[in-house]
């Protein structure tokens, strides 16, 4: 095709498609076009449902019908099924391979141990599903919108709980909800005045850490129903904000500022330590130095084992003794426990012990290395992965189940997937292209006869 013919073709394209440029022919449709309004609404709805579903179930239990553990599981299944329209647009071989291998290993461990651990499969499914969702969305700006809406809801209900506690607990009877789903035993020897979770009030001997004279002993839970989860959500928001470039100061201030407010409301010591460490990392580490955080869980395990070795007895229910107990449990592991085939104890407050005894050390190493083999497109993604590694390494020191809670784990892995910036192709091409082609053809054909 000579230059004059190409020029005529471009002129014809301009006549039938205003705003046309030759680069549009070589630009993939999925990257040239933003997410459709339907996609945006679906993604935002999934994120909001992920954050608020426990509050909705609690309200249902308080006013309409008793909620069981099975109904909670059904609600989680419904949320995961809502992800299918976006998941189905592109199969990710890496996710499928990891899920298949880990699922096969868990099945093998079930045969050896003689027990079917449904929770292990569920704990593996949630991160993989939400990471897959985030990869197929692949647009951090949409993740910003979804997270912003979630923060507004969390802050709004949190302020209501802080200022109007009686009205809040009339709507959300948290204590009876957890009794109903089997997470707490009913109290029969005395009447409990508070309708909050057991950790919703700081005991007098311990007291609040952040602004005790202003906020008292009450720890805000908001839609999460327990202050621990609110602190975890605050840490994830801070990690997302601190990962941004310095030019995006406004977004950094919003997400980190919201995280600080939520951290103070929940009086989360975990969030205080984690966010402080992340801020220090943001100031001191850049480029390849961020990759040092790949060693974070190994360093944490080593420190826990040293602490456990030098501490005797079970100790009290405080931060130091809980860490020491976790370290002693790791020191007592035998070979079957390391490979996940032993009949393990309940490690609800000992994250590393729970993860290793449930999944086995080979699966744990596979998942961690797969996480770090991800190719991040820019330093923002590298920073978010580094901050997330700190979050994971620290939360496993004090909690066995929080890392896999849908209401926080779903948000974390969705944001991680979006950080890859690899959106799946849109389901349909641009609708304006098809009717324009005959018009362009007719225009070229008529010009040929005129010439």
Query: Quick check: 149 and 157 in contact, CB under 8 A?
Result: no
Looking at residue 392, its pLDDT comes to 96
Examine the pLDDT at 1 and tell me if it is beyond 70.
no
Looking at residue 29, its pLDDT comes to 36
Query: Quick check: 395 and 270 in contact, CB under 8 A?
Result: yes
Ramachandran region, residue 118 (left: φ > 0; alpha: ψ -120 to 50; beta: rest) = alpha
Query: Quick check: 404 and 43 in contact, CB under 8 A?
Result: no
Examine the pLDDT at 293 and tell me if it is beyond 90.
yes
Per residue in 225-263, pLDDT (tens digit) is: 999 999 999 999 999 999 999 999 999 999 999 999 999
Q: Which domain holds residue 321?
A: 37-418
Query: Quick check: 89 and 136 in contact, CB under 8 A?
Result: yes
Record the pTM.
0.84
pLDDT band at 280 (very low <50, low <70, confident <90, very high): very high
pLDDT band at 140 (very low <50, low <70, confident <90, very high): very high
DSSP 342: S
Examine the pLDDT at 440 and tell me if it is beyond 80.
no
pLDDT band at 441 (very low <50, low <70, confident <90, very high): very low
% of the chain exceeding 70 in pLDDT: 81
Nearest to 332 by CA among 356, 316, 348: 356
In a 13 Å sphere around the CA of 344, the CA atoms on its Cβ side amount to: 31
Looking at residue 343, its pLDDT comes to 65
Measure Cα distances from 421 to 28, 30, 87, 376 in Å.
14, 12, 15, 8
Looking at residue 424, its pLDDT comes to 84
* Entry field: residues in the chain: 451
The full DSSP string for 20-50 is: --GGGGTS-HHHHSPPPHHHHHHHHHHHHHH
Question: What's the average model confidence in pLDDT over 31-54?
Answer: 84
pLDDT band at 192 (very low <50, low <70, confident <90, very high): low
Examine the pLDDT at 276 and tell me if it is beyond 60.
yes
Tell which wins on pLDDT, 13 or 392: 392
Looking at residue 429, its pLDDT comes to 56
Measure Cα distances from 233 to 230, 261, 359 in Å.
5, 12, 25
Measure Cα distances from 412 to 51, 129, 353, 406, 415 in Å.
11, 12, 22, 10, 5
Looking at residue 244, its pLDDT comes to 94
Measure Cα distances from 305 to 94, 300, 316, 338, 402 in Å.
33, 9, 18, 15, 21
pLDDT band at 206 (very low <50, low <70, confident <90, very high): confident
pLDDT band at 57 (very low <50, low <70, confident <90, very high): very high
Question: How many Cβ atoms are within 10 Å of 52's Cβ, its own excluded?
Answer: 19
Q: What are phi and psi of 228, to 5 degrees?
A: -60, -45
Residue linked to tokens 């390849």: 288
Query: Quick check: 353 and 331 in contact, CB under 8 A?
Result: no
Question: How many Cβ atoms are within 10 Å of 28's Cβ, its own excluded?
Answer: 10
Query: Quick check: 356 and 340 in contact, CB under 8 A?
Result: yes
Looking at residue 315, its pLDDT comes to 60
Per residue in 299-353, pLDDT (tens digit) is: 999 999 999 888 876 666 667 778 888 888 898 888 888 888 776 667 777 889 8
Q: Is 11 a domain residue?
A: no
Q: Is 121 a domain residue?
A: yes
Average pLDDT in the chain: 83
Tell which wins on pLDDT, 410 or 446: 410
How much is the CA Rg of the chain, to the nearest whole Å? 26
Q: Is 27 a domain residue?
A: no
Round to whole Å and give the CA distance between 138 and 149: 18
* Collapsed DSSP state (helix, strand, coil) of residue 201: strand
Looking at residue 14, its pLDDT comes to 43
Looking at residue 196, its pLDDT comes to 84
Q: Is 104 a domain residue?
A: yes
Question: What's the average model confidence in pLDDT over 431-444?
Answer: 49
Written as six digits, the tokens of 54 are 């426990």
Examine the pLDDT at 295 and tell me if it is beyond 90.
yes
Tell which wins on pLDDT, 146 or 182: 146
Question: What's the average model confidence in pLDDT over 124-153?
Answer: 95
Question: What's the average model confidence in pLDDT over 360-377?
Answer: 92
Round to whole Å and give the CA distance between 120 and 335: 19
Q: Is 269 a domain residue?
A: yes
Q: Is 427 a domain residue?
A: no
Looking at residue 118, its pLDDT comes to 82
Q: List all residues 6 or more positions away from 40 whose beta carbon is below 8 Å from its beta carbon.
A: 142, 145
Round to whole Å and give the CA distance between 277 and 239: 10
Question: How many Cβ atoms are within 10 Å of 205's Cβ, its own excluded?
Answer: 6
Nearest to 385 by CA among 401, 398, 373, 397: 373
Looking at residue 200, its pLDDT comes to 81
Examine the pLDDT at 433 and tell me if it is beyond 90.
no
Q: Is 187 a domain residue?
A: yes
Round to whole Å and give the CA distance between 207 and 315: 19
Tell which wins on pLDDT, 423 or 312: 423
Q: Is 430 a domain residue?
A: no
Written as six digits, the tokens of 67 are 């909620």
Round to whole Å and give the CA distance between 95 and 105: 15
Beta bridge partners of 201: 218
Q: How many domains does the chain have?
A: 1
């Amino acid at each position: 095709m000579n230059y004059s013919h190409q020029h005529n073709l471009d002129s014809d394209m301009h006549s039938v498609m205003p705003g046309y440029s030759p680069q549009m022919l070589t630009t993939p449709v999925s990257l040239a076009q933003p997410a459709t309004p339907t996609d945006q609404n679906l993604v935002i709805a999934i994120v909001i449902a992920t954050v608020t579903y426990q509050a909705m179930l609690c309200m249902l239990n308080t006013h309409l019908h008793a909620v069981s553990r099975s109904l909670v599981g059904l609600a989680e299944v419904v949320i995961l099924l809502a992800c299918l329209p976006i998941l189905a647009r592109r199969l990710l071989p890496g996710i499928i391979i990891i899920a298949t291998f880990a699922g096969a290993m868990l099945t093998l461990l079930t045969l050896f141990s003689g027990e079917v651990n449904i929770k292990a499969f569920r704990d593996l499914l949630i991160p993989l599903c939400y990471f897959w969702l985030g990869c197929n969305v692949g647009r951090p700006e949409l993740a910003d919108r979804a997270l912003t809406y979630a923060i507004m809801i969390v802050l709004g209900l949190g302020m209501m709980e802080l200022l109007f506690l009686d009205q809040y607990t009339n709507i959300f009877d948290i204590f009876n909800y957890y009794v109903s789903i089997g997470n707490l035993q009913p109290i029969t020897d005395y009447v409990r005045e508070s309708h909050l979770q057991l950790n919703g009030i700081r005991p007098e001997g311990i007291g609040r850490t952040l602004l005790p004279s202003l906020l008292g002993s009450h720890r805000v839970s908001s839609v999460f129903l327990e202050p621990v989860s609110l602190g975890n959500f605050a840490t994830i928001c801070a990690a997302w904000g601190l990962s941004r470039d310095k030019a995006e100061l406004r977004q950094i201030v919003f997400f980190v500022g919201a995280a600080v407010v939520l951290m103070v409301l929940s009086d989360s010591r975990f969030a205080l330590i984690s966010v402080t460490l992340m801020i220090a990392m943001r100031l001191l580490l850049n480029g390849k130095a961020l990759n040092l955080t790949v060693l974070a869980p190994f360093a944490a395990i080593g420190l826990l084992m040293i602490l456990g070795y030098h501490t005797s007895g079970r100790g009290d229910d405080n931060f130091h003794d809980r860490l020491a107990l976790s370290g002693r449990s790791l020191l007592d592991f035998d070979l079957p426990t390391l490979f996940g085939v032993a009949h393990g104890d309940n490690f609800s407050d000992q994250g590393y012990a729970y993860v290793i005894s449930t999944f086995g050390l080979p699966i744990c190493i596979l998942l961690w290395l797969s996480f770090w083999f991800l190719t991040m497109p820019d330093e923002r993604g590298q920073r978010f992965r580094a901050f997330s590694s700190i979050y994971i390494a620290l939360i496993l020191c004090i909690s066995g189940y929080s890392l896999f809670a849908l209401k926080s784990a779903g948000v974390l892995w969705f944001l991680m997937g979006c950080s890859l910036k690899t959106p799946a192709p849109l389901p349909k091409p641009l609708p304006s292209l098809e009717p324009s082609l005959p018009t362009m053809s007719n225009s070229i054909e008529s010009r040929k006869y005129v010439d």
